[in-house]
Each structure stands twice: as C-alpha cells, then as structure tokens.
Amino acid sequence: MAADKNTYSFLSDHTRIPNIGLGTWKSAKGDVKNAVIAAIDAGYRHLDCAFIYQNEEEIGEALKEKIKDGTIERDDIYITTKLWGTHHSPSRVEQGIKMSLTPLQLDYVDLYLMHSPCGRKFIDDKTFFPKDENDKNAYDDVHYVETWKAMEKLVEKGLAISIGVSNFNVSQMEEIVTAAQVPCVMNQIEIHPAIDQSDIITYCKAKSIALTAYSPFGSPDRPWASDKDPNLFEDPVVKEIAESRGCTAGQVLLAYHLNQEVVVVPKSVTPSRIKENFEALSIKLKPEEITKLKELNSTNYRACAMNMLKDHPYFPFK
C-alpha cells in the first residue's frame, strides 16, 4: 500500500480528518465512479458526499473496487455524507443516514452532517424538493436542535463516528453547541477569498469546531453561474501568486484554505486536475500572500446563496 501523503486535522472528539477531500457535488452519474477511483489512486483518503447529490451508488462501487484490489482498507478512507432536509424529523433521521449507507455499501460513515438547518416536508423517500398546493416549497418547521439530538443517537448506534453541520450561522451554531451531548465537530460552509466568513470562522475556531470549505473556487461550474460573478481563477492577485510560485491558480486557492487549517473539498472529475488539486498540500503561502487573498472579499460574493430557501424560518444567511 502506498505511503499516505495526506495531512490531517484533529477534531474535538479526538478523531482526525484528512485536510483535503474529493468533492462530489455536481459530479454526474457515469463520471463520479472514475473520479473517485482516480482520487484514491492519487492519494486522497477523504470523500465528501451527500444523499441529495444522487451519485452515492457509484461512489460505493468505486470504494468496493479499491478495497477489493487492495489499494485501501475501509479504515483508510474518510467518508463524509449529509442528512437531507426531508429527513429532519427525529423519527426519520436514522432512515436518512441509511439512505446513504446502502448505496455507499458501508456500515458507517466517518462524519455525518446536517446539510442545512432548513427542514423540508416529508412526502416519501423519493421526493426531495416537495411543493405545496401553490407550487411553493413545502417546509417542515422541525427545529434543527431536535434533528441534532436524533443525530446523536446515530453515534451511539455506530452508524456515524462523528457528527456536524453545514451552512449554519453563528447563532444557529450556538444553539447546537449549547444543546449538544455529542460534540459538533464540523461546520461545512462556503469559503473562498471572495466571501467574508470571518464571523463564523472566528466562532467555530473559538469553540474547537473544525471548518470545511466547500466551493473553494467559487463554484464557477454551478448551474446558475453568471458571467458577472467573480472569476477567482482569473483574479490578478491569485494569478500573481501562482506565477511567482510556479503553480496553478487552483492550487493557490486550495492552499489558501489549507494554510489556515481549513479542510477543503474541491470537486473535479478530471484525473489530471484531481491530482493537481491534491498537490496543493505541499504549497505553503506566506502570511502576506494570505492577507492579499483575504482582501478580495470586498465583493462578499456567495456562490451558493440558497435563495430558494429565503422564506424558510431557519434560513441561515439573513
């Protein structure tokens, strides 16, 4: 088995997480299996998944293949997945994780996150975006603290090693921290140089809650992207740092997170790009370079604004 080239962060429950993972959001069926195989072969030992991505079956097939050929054992790979809003009711949380465990062909995940604080009305296990009679989003007003308490039972049952949240703001995090009997080890949020997340980053670090940056490039390939959005790959500051170091703009953006002790989960289905992203682990930015990158947040640009949930009582980005 090849030497492990990852670096790790220790979580508040005394587990550890690889600092870079393969993101699988927007990875289409037919592509994601090969992307996972390429990532594992390149050295990745962390996969970031979610039930709502609807591609966990292929991820499970890739994991089975790489375990079977001896590249990895189950304990070598760190799997994160997420609870979707239709299963926020405490009575449905266990079913929610099993809907990921089954396609992933796993008995447990290493980290289970509440995908957002916003519950959706449960219709059935195949209705992910329920609507009401007026064709508007149908919500479940179950409070995320109640959902959290049900997630704690998943740890007791061995279905998840660690639990955390995603897309939570400071006040919502405080409610979770106050209620938690099992540590909240992670908040996965959008982080990149064009958005100011200093308040939530400061809070989480003060509470020993780790951070994962999703959309670390500003998610330029998301379906609703606009030509008017910031393009971090073409930003002069990013390009200048990349040129001075002989690396790519993407590697600079990943090093920006890694050098600040933030876990990062870049998505790609291209083997060469997957390998290139992993190599960002070796880039050490100077403090002044990180400062220059932080100054790009004047636009306070949020790629994943979750605007479809603006009328939800627990919408996090008000």
Residues tagged active-site? 53
Residue 25 Cα distances to 11, 76, 106, 124, 156, angstroms: 24, 22, 20, 23, 28
CA-to-CA distance for 205 and 45, rounded, in angstroms? Answer: 24
Nearest CA among 172, 177, 170 for reference residue 203: 170
Q: Encoding tokens for residue 131?
A: 């609507």
CA-to-CA distance for 268 and 281, rounded, in angstroms? Answer: 16
CA-to-CA distance for 197 and 303, rounded, in angstroms? Answer: 13
The residue ranges of DSSP E strands in the chain, in sequence order, are 8-10, 16-18, 22-23, 46-48, 78-83, 109-114, 160-166, 184-190, 210-214, 263-264
| First-last CA distance in the chain | 48
List Cβ neighbours of 210 (8 Å cut-off, separation of 6 or more): 9, 11, 12, 17, 164, 185, 186, 187, 204, 263
CA-to-CA distance for 281 and 301, rounded, in angstroms? Answer: 26
The one-letter amino acid code at 163 reads I
b/e sequence 102-116, b meaning 16+ C-beta within 10 Å:
ebbebebbbbbbbbb
